[in-house]
A and B are shown apart, each in its own frame.
Chain A
Amino acid sequence: MTDNNYDEIVQLLCDRLSSLASADVNITAETNLISDLSIDSIKLLNLIMEIEDAFDISIPINALADVQTVHELACLIAKIKSAS
């Protein structure tokens, strides 16, 4: 994974999340999707669909169990992307 790639993913996630999140928060890589953004299950499904479409990947459901922050989600996407 190149740093460039990771930064791009984080940027895209932050953009998408700021439109999904109800709270007015400044989203960074450290933002916790659960406690800071209160992403509900429907918004989460939408986000996953958008990510899958944007990066043309499939995110395995088991991997999300270890994701809590924007950084962790970005790393997961980068990992899947580089493997595909």
Chain B
Amino acid sequence: MSSTITKLNAPLTQAFDFQPSSETQLMPTPTRNTLAQRLVGFETLTDALEYAAQGITGYNFYDARGKLRSILPYSLLRNNARNLAKRLVGFGLERGSRVAIIADTSPEFVELFFACRYAGLVPFAMPVPVNLGSHGVYVQQLKGMLESSQASLAFANLDYINFLAEAAEKVTLLEWVGTPAQLNELPAQEVTLQPNQPDEVAYLQFTSGSTRMPRGVVITERALMCNLMGIVCNGLEITPDDRSASWLPFYHDMGLVGLVLAPMVTQISVDYLATRDFAIRPLQWLRLISRNRCTVAFSQPFGLKLCTMRVRESDLKELDLSCWRAAGIGAEMIRPDTLRNFAEKFASAGFNGNAFLPCYGLAESTLAVTFSKIGSGFHSIQIDSKALIDKRMAVRLQAEGRKSNEFVNCGRPLPGHIVKIVGEDGQPLEERMLGSVLVQGASVMSGYYNNPVETEKALKPDNWLDTGDIGYLYDGDLYITGRRTDVIIVNGRNIRAQDVEELAEQQPEVRSREASAFGVNDEDGSTTVVLVIECRLTSVTERHALIKRLQQLVYMAFGVNCIVELVPPHTLPRTSSGKLSRFAARQGYIQRTNLNDQLAVVESGDR
């Protein structure tokens, strides 16, 4: 047995306390601060950091084996960020210029992010490559973001700098590409750093998926501070005894806003595990919570599923999750069974089901829109499937034996925010009627950066944000029933149907507007991507080769397997304007393949 396995099987304390004797013992930042906790009254991120820096709490970074690799107390973060900011000033950029940073889970990313804010620049996080063989697609994805953001500077650490350099070729507006270490070698300018204003842009958030036309959500300091305040005061009711643990990527809104910025503005400590390390050994996250007595930790449902799948009986004995009071669940449709299975599995490790905290949100509204009530667990209702399909209405199941769907209560909007449900004509619907979910409030984005077309699609008059999700209100609480057909969510990853179709259309055999992509659900609730192509090839070998090539391309771009179906020309249904209807294409596919239990009702027509 390798030493790794021995370590993983060792009692918890041993697995965590393993330290080579030659290294000095690093201590995580404490939970209890020396500074009085302040939750409100910060106008900007740097305001909040100036305050947090007076205490002793901060960020802690753990490796795959659960060993503490580095710590970044808020005091050190402030000093390092200001120091780097004075070097950034040397580039002589206008205030508000964009700075791209490849965001792996590292102290360097956080330092650079805040350095940008101190220097009056607008940072944005770019993803790390996650898929086998994804080199080419990943570089294209980075290039798309660099171009769309009109970034002036771009940073990556040594692991990713080659990808970044490749992506930066021929991106004309980019002035400099380098590592944080290279920035540190530049001279610091003798300047006084100017305070930021609430109306200034705090950061851009790229929504996942789209490669060719990525959309950068613009979030101002005001929107950010408004959303953070709602999250920490109303959603989580943060106290000085709280501590967070997170594996969420820093390039996702939940990871960045929820688990990097929210802890800082409340001056609480966080323990980080890199996403990749969590994905391979999900229990390390639970061990961190158990060992450091963490109270607040968020995950997508998929993350909980991974934990449930991979845990062994021997692991359970070593865990004490009784400290975990806020198990936030969001970022994708929440299936009640995922939560039930997790609660059942980890009950013996002290996990309390009342800790479940379903919430709903999206990057276009900074992060959070609704929160269920803290400390009361998750609640769901059984809805009559027939009424949902025929009348588009949520009716509580009356008689046993009728077919039903169970939806999770996502709670109520944060103070100052309103959620409404509208029909296809844009008119508001009554409670319990199924329709598009719209949100209004100070957390809503200013728009997509330099993209008026997409902005106009998402932001309706009076600044109502069309979330792209489908749901209903029931006794004032929001229930999400599905996404519209333009996003497919597989294993927690958001994949834009359009991106899959564009990938197919780049093949010489596939004409434009002759590919349709959508998701179908298996009986266990997992989603598979289906790509239907109108195909003129007659040779069996050629058809087979095309299917294989498309599957490989989709895998390299999105990390998922897909079903490719070749159909004769004119099979795919079109709207009167000649546009393909994914909704109808999906219905057709389901009929052809006789898939049962497909809930057509949860998705309305194309956007």
Contact = CB atoms under 8 A, between A and B. Distances in A.
A61 B281 contact: no
Contact of A34 (B64, B306, B552): B552
B129 A64 contact: yes
B276 interface: yes
Interface string A48-72: 1100111110101110111110000
Contacts of B135: 65-66
Interface string B535-558: 000000000000011011001100
A40 B163 CA distance: 24
B552 A61 contact: no
B129 A65 contact: yes
Contacts of A35: 548-549, 551-552, 555
Contacts of A20: none
A58 B309 CA distance: 22
Interface string B242-282: 00000000000000000000000000000000001001110
Contacts of B556: 34
B560 interface: yes
- Decide if the interface of chain A is mainly helix, strand, loop or mixed: helix
Given A41-B559, A45-B279, A54 B2 contact: yes
B128 interface: yes
A42 B561 CA distance: 11
Contacts of B16: none
A44 interface: yes
A34 B133 contact: yes
B3 A56 contact: yes
Given A38-B551, A56-B4, A62-B163, A45 B280 contact: yes
B143 to A, nearest CB: 15
B150 interface: no
Interface string B1-33: 011110010000000000000000000000000
A33 interface: yes
Contacts of B309: 42
Contact of A53 (B5, B133, B552, B560): B5
B276 A61 contact: yes
A52 B549 CA distance: 30
A62 B561 contact: no
A14 interface: no
A42 B133 CA distance: 16
Contacts of B159: 60-62
B560 A41 contact: yes
B128 A61 contact: yes
Contact of A68 (B5, B132, B549): B132
A43 B337 CA distance: 22
A11 B399 CA distance: 58
Contacts of A38: 551, 555, 561
A65 B163 contact: yes
A66 B133 contact: yes
A62 to B, nearest CB: 5
Nearest to A35: B552
Contacts of B179: none
B129 A44 contact: no
Contacts of A54: 2
A4 to B, nearest CB: 19
A30 B548 CA distance: 16
Contacts of B561: 38, 40
Given A61-B128, A61-B276, A68-B132, A52 B552 contact: no
Contact of B128 (A44, A55, A58, A62): A62
Contacts of B64: 52, 58
Interface in B110-142: 128-135, 138
Contacts of A39: 132
B134 A65 contact: yes
Nearest to B8: A53
Given A61-B128, A66-B133, A41 B280 contact: no
B160 interface: yes
B467 interface: no
B5 A65 contact: no
B491 interface: yes
A35 B159 CA distance: 27
A67 B280 contact: no
A40 B159 CA distance: 24
Given A56-B4, A62-B128, A42 B281 contact: no
A53 B133 CA distance: 22
A66 B5 CA distance: 27
Contacts of A31: none
Contacts of A52: 4, 64, 280
B105 to A, nearest CB: 11
A33 B280 contact: no
A65 B131 contact: yes
A34 B132 contact: yes
A46 to B, nearest CB: 8
A56 B306 CA distance: 23
5 contacts: A34-B133, A48-B280, A56-B2, A61-B130, A61-B159
Given A34-B552, A62-B129, A64-B134, 19 more contacts: A32-B552, A33-B133, A34-B132, A35-B548, A35-B551, A35-B552, A42-B306, A44-B132, A49-B280, A52-B280, A53-B8, A56-B3, A56-B4, A61-B128, A61-B276, A64-B133, A65-B132, A65-B163, A68-B133
The 3 closest A-B pairs by CB, nearest first: A68-B133, A35-B552, A65-B129
Interface of A: 32-35, 38-42, 44-45, 48-49, 52-56, 58, 60-62, 64-68
